[in-house]
């Protein structure tokens, strides 16, 4: 039986590229920041091979910007993230986890420092403008918080640099990972960053004009014709292999940044004023009780996981698998799961209660071997 359709109404915002990808025949959407996000263009496996071998244009308009502007923008930016922003220069991005007072995840955005008094947080799926705007108001800060009409378009895959150089010029080649430049397109100046939610390498263009957005899309497609360019989207197989969790699925409001395994991005020893830092310091000292890990699940192709699957060891429940999919490249099921801390070392064996039966699974290191071509 087919699942019921999800009605696409005005509450679910369309993007400047929705009609393009629908003309192409996009197979599935999800909703992210109240906006459409494609999840399958031709199909998850076909999209996976295409992303790893060619180049794709991704409609990731749903990665909305929470903009901070004004004299207190830098102070608010640092309050909002437990990443140390002190040494971040203008023209650089930083993966910047956001937590509440208890250290629990609110979002895991990419921060872009446009200037000392001008920041974007390119957010995952939660209403950061409400949190940031509320803080600014409550603390009496001199900063404007808004969600500007800026829509990211990502170009990802091994041929991304060649295609981007055709459209934006040779300057794109000099942009370093997580760096950005303002580059011209038809008289407009757009932020172009070397970033994106895949481990295949590529760029993100922050587009602030809906009409030119369509022109850009068509130019990229024309520039990449010789390289088998096509529409794409964040890919379930590729992102699990890369060890990229998705907020709302693998990590939620329940989990702290330490439980999300974000240790290396947390400024736990820096003398900065950031919300949640004290709580995370205490948790580090006390030790955490669960953590997100990579898993290999034995057996044939797992079914679609609409709900998390319980994980057991002996007769005890020790966690859940939050995302799982068959990897045609590795010929095994790859997964992410939140497990009790005593079952999180590499090599630990557990039992997964998949809907079609019990399976053995092993904790593995992420990224999975050979996942990154960046
Ligand atoms: N691009 C932009 N906005 C975004 C995303 C994006 N907003 C939502 C979501 N993705 C935020 N989450 C992530 C998670 C990981 C990364 C980017 C955004 C990422 N991580 C690198 C990695 O894991 O290899 C390393 C980051 C670092 O070293 O700082 O790229 O994709 N605009």
Over its C-alpha atoms, the chain yields an Rg (Å, rounded) of: 21
Mean pLDDT rounded to a whole number for the chain: 98
Looking only at the bridges linking them, the beta strands covering 110-115 and 118-122 are antiparallel
pLDDT of res. 165: 98
pLDDT of res. 97: 98
Within the chain, which residue ranges are assigned CATH 3.30.1360.120?
Answer: 18-58+150-239
By the 8 A CB rule, do 257 and 103 touch? yes
pLDDT of res. 3: 84
Does the structure show a pLDDT above 90 at 201?
yes
What's the rounded mean pLDDT across residues 111-115? 99
Nearest to 351 by CA among 320, 308, 323: 320
Within the chain, which residue ranges are assigned CATH 3.30.70.1400?
Answer: 65-149+256-287
CA distance 220 to 56: 10
Fold of 18-58+150-239: Gyrase A; domain 2 (3.30.1360)
Q: Which atom of ligand 1 is nearest to the CA of 265?
A: 29
| Distance (Å) from CA 196 to ligand 1 centroid | 6
Reported confidence tier of residue 287, pLDDT bands at 50, 70, 90: very high
Within the chain, which residue ranges are assigned CATH 2.40.30.110?
Answer: 289-365
| Distance (Å) from CA 178 to ligand 1 centroid | 9
The tokens for 233 are: 């989207």
Angstrom CA distances, 151 to 101, 147, 295, 371, stand at 30, 11, 34, 27
Helices (H), 42-178: 44-53, 73-80, 128-138, 160-168
| Residue identifier of the C-alpha nearest atom 8 of ligand 1 | 124
Does the structure show a pLDDT above 90 at 319?
yes
Does the structure show a pLDDT above 90 at 2?
no
CA distance 318 to 5: 34
Q: Is the pTM of this model over 0.95?
A: yes
Nearest to 224 by CA among 301, 326, 307, 153: 153
Helix (H) or strand (E) run with residue 204 in it: strand 202-207
In sequence order, the 6+-apart residues with CB closer than 8 A to the CB of 14 are 8, 35, 36
Angstrom CA distances, 254 to 102, 132, 181, 275, 281, stand at 10, 20, 36, 16, 18
| Distance (Å) from CA 109 to ligand 1 centroid | 7
What's the rounded mean pLDDT across residues 268-280? 98
CA distance 191 to 166: 17
CA geometry: angle 65, 125, 253, nearest 5 deg = 125
CA distance 94 to 341: 28
| Distance (Å) from CA 95 to ligand 1 centroid | 6
Q: Is 131 helix (H, G, I), strand (E, B) or coil?
A: helix
Reported confidence tier of residue 252, pLDDT bands at 50, 70, 90: very high
Does the structure show a pLDDT above 90 at 87?
yes
pLDDT of res. 190: 98
Nearest to 335 by CA among 312, 313, 318, 352: 352
| Architecture of the domain spanning 65-149+256-287 | 2-Layer Sandwich (3.30)
Q: In the CATH hierarchy, which top-level class contains the domain 289-365?
A: mainly beta
Does the structure show a pLDDT above 90 at 268?
yes
For residue 367, cis peptide bond before it (omega within 30 degrees of 0): yes
Does the structure show a pLDDT above 90 at 1?
no
| Residue identifier of the C-alpha nearest atom 23 of ligand 1 | 244
Q: Which residues line ligand 1 (CB under 6 A)?
A: 63, 94-95, 108-110, 122-124, 152, 178, 195-197, 204, 244
Reported confidence tier of residue 279, pLDDT bands at 50, 70, 90: very high
Which pLDDT tens digit goes with each residue over 156-197? 999 999 999 999 999 999 999 999 999 999 999 999 999 999
Nearest to 144 by CA among 72, 238, 79: 72
CA 64 to chain centre: 12
CA distance 179 to 51: 22
| Residue identifier of the C-alpha nearest atom 17 of ligand 1 | 197
Q: Per this entry, what is the length of the chain?
A: 374
């Amino acid at each position: 039986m087919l699942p019921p359709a999800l009605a696409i109404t005005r509450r679910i915002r369309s993007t400047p590229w929705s009609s393009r990808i629908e003309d192409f025949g996009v197979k599935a959407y999800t909703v992210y920041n109240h906006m459409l996000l494609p999840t399958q263009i031709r199909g998850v496996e076909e999209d996976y091979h295409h992303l790893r071998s060619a180049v794709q244009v991704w409609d990731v308009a749903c990665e909305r910007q929470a903009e901070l502007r004004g004299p207190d923008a830098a102070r608010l930016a640092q309050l909002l993230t437990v990443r140390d922003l002190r040494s971040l220069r203008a023209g650089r991005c930083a993966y910047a986890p956001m937590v509440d007072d208890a250290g629990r995840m609110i979002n895991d955005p990419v921060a872009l420092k446009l200037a000392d008094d001008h920041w974007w947080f390119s957010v995952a799926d939660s209403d950061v403008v409400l949190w940031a705007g509320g803080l600014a108001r409550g603390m009496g800060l001199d900063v404007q918080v808004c969600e500007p009409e800026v829509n990211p378009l990502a170009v990802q895959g091994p041929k991304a640099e060649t295609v981007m150089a055709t459209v934006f010029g040779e300057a794109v080649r000099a942009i370093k990972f997580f760096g950005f430049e303002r580059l011209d397109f038809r008289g407009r100046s757009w932020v172009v960053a070397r970033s994106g939610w895949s481990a295949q390498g590529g760029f993100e263009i922050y587009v602030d004009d809906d009409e030119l957005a369509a022109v850009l899309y068509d130019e990229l497609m024309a520039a990449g014709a010789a390289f088998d360019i096509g529409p794409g989207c964040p890919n379930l197989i590729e992102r699990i292999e890369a060890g990229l969790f998705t907020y709302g699925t693998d990590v939620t409001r329940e989990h702290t940044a330490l439980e999300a395994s974000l240790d290396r991005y947390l400024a736990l020893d820096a003398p900065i004023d950031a919300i949640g830092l004290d709580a995370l310091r205490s948790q580090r000292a006390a030790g955490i009780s669960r953590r997100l890990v990579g898993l290999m699940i034995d057996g044939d192709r797992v079914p679609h996981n609409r709900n998390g699957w319980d994980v057991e060891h002996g007769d005890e429940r020790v966690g859940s698998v939050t995302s799982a999919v068959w990897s045609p490249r590795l010929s095994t099921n790859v997964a992410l799961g939140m497990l009790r801390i005593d079952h999180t070392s590499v090599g630990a064996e557990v039992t997964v209660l998949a809907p079609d039966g019990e399976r053995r699974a092993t904790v593995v290191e992420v990224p999975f071997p050979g996942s990154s071509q960046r």
